[in-house]
Structure 1
Amino acid sequence: MPLFNTRAIEDFPIGNILLRDHHAALTGEGLAAGSRGHFRTHPHAWLTAEDVALLTSEVTTLVDDRSTPLAWFGDVPNVSKSVVAKTSFLIVHPWDLLRANEQYVGTLSEKKIEGDIHPNAVIEGTIHLGPGSRILPGVFIEGNVVIGANCKIGPNCYIRGSTSIGDKCHVGNAVEIKNSILLSGTNVGHLSYVGDSVLGEKVNFGAGTVTSNLRHDGKNHRTEVDGSLVDTGRRKFGCIVGDGVHTGINTSIYPGRKLWAGTSTRPGEVVQRDITGNA
């Protein structure tokens, strides 16, 4: 699976914070009180403070709807003393990252601005902007967005929540990014649309690259995993793009398609099937 074959799930950023560091933050907030024993987590779990707060000395284990332990007090989980999570879940597939990112970025309430925002940019929502990053004239940000360090955003682009953009990224002229994750070093420079998608590190989308994210019949997207079609549970779902992928100009990508690390497309190519690099 793209992205997960180049990094461990716990090393994937959600809102530009590694999943493992989200777990550490929960512990740091005192949710794992010493009187209740050591707080432990499944390394691939997305956890919310709301769910972890359900754990007590009597209810020691948080599980998902399949009874998979997500977090617990003590050395081992005790499913006989468990509670089912309301908003936490296990990250299994790359599109689960979008769900976690939506929960985290969508609930940000305090701005954190360390870069520069041009007076002719419009920000409607909560933004985290890293040091050395610049938001240029004509940029419209709608909803909560996290942008890393040393990024160039704009001019004249549209970024919609809940989007996370890593360090040293470029989102350029006439580009729209919606509810997506862009890892560090990635460029979407010109005339492109990226919706409900995850792009790995050092990806370059050629001018006019467009992702589709909606089926004509409005049903959930399915995507191939190990030779079988899997329901993603998402009505809006674009693409999963591995590290170092380059697309040619005017590439069109069908919904739910996956491009493995290091692959590329030709100018004007229509991506109807996953590109694994094995052909």
Structure 2
Amino acid sequence: MKTLYLLEPENPGAAWAPFAGAAPLSELRAGAWRLRERWERALGARTRGIVASHAGVAHPGAPPIIDGTTITGPAWVVDVTYAPRLPMRAIGEAHRLLHGGRAVAWRLDAGERWQGPFDSGNGRVIEGIPLAGAADLVTALEEFLFTDTLAGLESGTDPIPAHAIVLGNPGAIALRGAELEPGVVIDVRKGAVILDEGVTVRSGTRLEGPLWAHPHTWLLGGAMRHLSAGPHCRLHGEISTSVFAGHANKSHDGFVGHSVIGSWVNLGAGTITSNLKNTYGSIRLDLGSERIETKRTNLGALIGDHAKTAIGTLLSTGSIIGAGANLFGAPRAPRNVPPFAWGGDDDTPLRADSFIDVAKRVMPRRGVEVSADTEAALRAMHRRLTER
């Protein structure tokens, strides 16, 4: 199998808030797959390391963060701010993969050392989406999830229970060790539905494709459409066109739309995102003195890893909730909440020891023990994001 290295921006910038600095961007989902997984599938390769100085320490279970100067061929080095469309066309003996006049991947021959992106060598144009920031992950979901789920059907399915209500072609459903209670509605008229090993779907749930629930995710009732979620998520209520990273919680009522939800997020009962301005105008992201024009009409919230909202929290269009933030108090949260904020408006961040204490209560509930290495990674994340 080919060797793959992932190249991230040294300074991703405000457009990648609230995820930059918390973990490698390559662990974010673009469609059904993480950016790392998309490149692995595109090239038939396995990732050996991530060049991501902004993150410092990788997520537990992710490939290690490395110094780019240690990379030696044969290998591919790819830009994770580009999401390739799958399946990728044959690339032959290309040394560079190109999109929009720029290189997004580079091939090193045996013994060749990585010295940075290069402009020489045979190039092959590929299809995909350049990602200027976190909001573009919603665009990637819209563009990719339909074909990602169709490709997912090729791995086969368990028998569909007779008590499931299917709208459309049952051949567009793949169940792989999933459990469905009676009365679940699966609508595949607009896209396929994939339910992986350990997925549980409770009565009163309506699933509309394209939708992919990754392993051990529980869908606990409500209407869910155009969704990529898991592993180990707990979801309930109305959810539309959103990505939930692993171990996220939304176990109660409340609308989440056109949003990107990080790992270990907990949304309290009645948390609601707005994803459309009253004017139907383009949504801007306000990041202190910097404003980013997304050119999107629909955009909900971008919520960083380990963030939590209280019951009844209201999130405006284009809200950015920093990693580790704990929102409570006024129902309407600020549009830009800094990392580890305590209450939303408080300038004093949650202390590292308090953050670790919470993580030690939360993570074992999903079978993840906070080892010494994990605690060190969490403390490093807290330090990076609060010392900026």
Into which bin does the TM-score normalised by the smaller protein fall?
A: 0.7 to 0.9
Structure having the higher helix fraction is 2
SS at match of 2:194: strand
The answer for the alignment partner of 2:331 in structure 1 is 269
Residue 83 of structure 2 aligns with an amino acid whose one-letter code is W
2:193·2:208 contact (CA, 8 Å) conserved in 1?
A: no
The one of 113, 128, 132 equivalent to 1:92 is: 132
Structure 1 pair 27/55, CA: closer, same or farther in 2 (3 Å)? closer
1:249·1:268 contact (CA, 8 Å) conserved in 2?
A: no
Query: What is the TM-score when the length of structure 1 is the normalising length?
Result: 0.84
The answer for the alignment partner of 1:153 in structure 2 is 219
Kindly state the Cα deviation for residue 130 of structure 1 after the two structures are TM-superposed: 2.0
1:153·1:171 contact (CA, 8 Å) conserved in 2?
A: yes
The answer for the alignment partner of 2:271 in structure 1 is 209
Structure 1 pair 63/227, CA: closer, same or farther in 2 (3 Å)? farther
2:216·2:230 contact (CA, 8 Å) conserved in 1?
A: no
SS at match of 1:180: strand
Query: What is the RMSD computed on CA atoms of the aligned residues?
Result: 2.6
Structure 1 pair 259/118, CA: closer, same or farther in 2 (3 Å)? same
The answer for the alignment partner of 2:235 in structure 1 is 171
SS at match of 1:179: strand
Write the distance in 2 (CA, Å) between the matches of 1:151 and 1:24: 23
Kindly state the Cα deviation for residue 38 of structure 1 after the two structures are TM-superposed: 6.4
Structure 1 pair 226/81, CA: closer, same or farther in 2 (3 Å)? farther
SS at match of 1:141: strand
Residue 91 of structure 1 aligns with an amino acid whose one-letter code is L
**Aligned residue pairs, count:** 264
Write the distance in 1 (CA, Å) between the matches of 2:187 and 2:282: 29
1:130 aligned onto 2:196: yes
Write the distance in 2 (CA, Å) between the matches of 1:144 and 1:6: 29
Query: What is the TM-score when the length of structure 2 is the normalising length?
Result: 0.62
Structure 1 pair 61/233, CA: closer, same or farther in 2 (3 Å)? farther
The answer for the alignment partner of 2:156 in structure 1 is none
The answer for the alignment partner of 2:104 in structure 1 is 70
SS at match of 1:144: strand
Write the distance in 2 (CA, Å) between the matches of 1:267 and 1:140: 33
Kindly state the Cα deviation for residue 7 of structure 1 after the two structures are TM-superposed: 1.1
The answer for the alignment partner of 1:190 in structure 2 is 252
1:146·1:164 contact (CA, 8 Å) conserved in 2?
A: yes
Q: Which runs of 5+ in 2 are unaligned?
A: 1-16, 46-73, 110-116, 154-172, 348-388
Write the distance in 1 (CA, Å) between the matches of 2:124 and 2:287: 30
In the TM superposition, what are the counterparts of 1:1-279 in structure 2 within 5 Å? 1-15=17-31, 17-28=33-44, 40-49=77-86, 52-53=88-89, 55=91, 61-65=96-100, 67-72=101-106, 77-78=118-119, 87-107=127-147, 108-109=149-150, 110=153, 111-113=173-175, 114-125=177-188, 126-155=192-221, 157-161=222-226, 163-172=227-236, 175-225=237-287, 227-276=289-338, 277=341, 279=347
1:250·1:268 contact (CA, 8 Å) conserved in 2?
A: no
How many percent identity over aligned positions?
Answer: 23
